[in-house]
Chain A
Amino acid sequence: MATQTYVALATTTLSGTTASVTFSSIPADYRDLVLVTKIGNNGSGAKEISLVFNSDSSNRSRVFAAGYSGGTLSGTASTILAAYNTAGLISSNTAHIMDYSATDKHKTVLVRNGDTAFTMMQAGRWASTAAINSIELSISGASFTAGSTFSLYGIEA
């Protein structure tokens, strides 16, 4: 029998500039999480919106591909991003956190992200078998602008 899913777990819309946003006490009742964000920042240039699971800022890696007016770019880094965001622009971003509640595997994250300056896709891995119970989003050297929205959904399997 089919099961209705894609359940809204939490949503926040910022009323003022904010340095970081954290979803905590995430229940292990689902299999995947989908994090949908619409973000602006008050810094300058392109900023990385970092994802940290369970307060562990280590054990992260990613590969990304991006396209912009100057061409294309691919690289790797020891972080996982929810998004890039160009100051002055609003980026729309979706991160799929696969098997977040499983305790037998590392966590794989697939991201689609873009604003009017570029488009980006990314695969990330958090090298931990712990179930994810918190997610922190932050920007280095800037803050999220008022009106930025952060929504978390759960998908059963």
Chain B
Amino acid sequence: MGVVKLSTAGILDYQKYSSALAGNSPYIPFSSAFELLETEILTGSQTSVTFSSLNSTYGADYQHLQARCVFSGGGAVSSLRIELNGDTGSNYSLHVLYGNGSSVLSAAGAPSTIWALGNSVTTSNAFAASIVDILDPFETTKYTTGRILHGRIGSSNSIELLSGNWRNTAAVDTINFRVDGGQTLIAGTRLSLYGLKAA
């Protein structure tokens, strides 16, 4: 192979740089405080989905959690339910403000053994959606609170804003999602968990 000599002899306005990157835009890595932690996209029917070891895996790095849920119970209307740390005691409460297409209503749920969010629909290919913000899940000096936006439109219609608490100061370590009434989450259901970092 021949040797080619590079020369500046014919260039009148050249500059010398000590860095090969000089003159280029600096590379700034993408940075976001919102991170995907885990996701489950069902390929078949399943009774429940559990995200576990959350505190030990994520507790040191994240301030809040968000679950983004797209779900269906198939041919039966089913409400999405969330259980924390396997606690089956009457330690959960929810309040809801909702519109059903005719009127706007509100309700306060009695202490419950679970967070029961809004319902699914039975329309083919139609899925209900919920965005669940769990605030300070790893904090151990106060109860865990949740804020949910839920909607469904198909065989029945509703848009709902919910808030709730779990009367326990333990750090959240497991989150179990399931539907009620012995129904199953069908294929296509998607449950994704995200973490939001603090500064």
Residues of A in contact with B (beta carbons under 8 Å apart)? 2-7, 31-32, 61-67, 72-76, 96, 98-99, 102, 104-106, 108-110, 112, 121-125, 127, 129, 155-157
- Prevailing SS type, chain A contact patch: strand
Chain B residues within 8 Å of A61, by CB: 153
Q: How large is the interface on B (under 10, 10 to 19, 20 to 34, 35 or more residues)?
A: 35 or more
With contact pairs A31-B192, A63-B99 given, residues A157 and B126 touching in the complex (Cβ less than 8 Å)? no
Residues of B in contact with A (beta carbons under 8 Å apart)? 30-32, 34-37, 39, 41, 58, 61, 68, 70, 97-104, 123, 125-129, 131, 149-154, 157-159, 161, 187-188, 190, 192, 194-195
Establish whether residues A76 and B101, one from each chain, have CB atoms under 8 Å apart when the complex forms: yes
List 5 other contacts, CB 8 Å, given A62-B153, A157-B41: A31-B39, A63-B159, A65-B159, A98-B68, A123-B152
Establish whether residues B126 and A123, one from each chain, have CB atoms under 8 Å apart when the complex forms: no
With contact pairs A63-B157, A74-B100, A98-B68 given, residues A5 and B32 touching in the complex (Cβ less than 8 Å)? yes
Chain B residues within 8 Å of A110, by CB: 129, 131, 149-151, 159
Whole-angstrom distance from the CB of A51 to the nearest CB of chain B?
Answer: 14
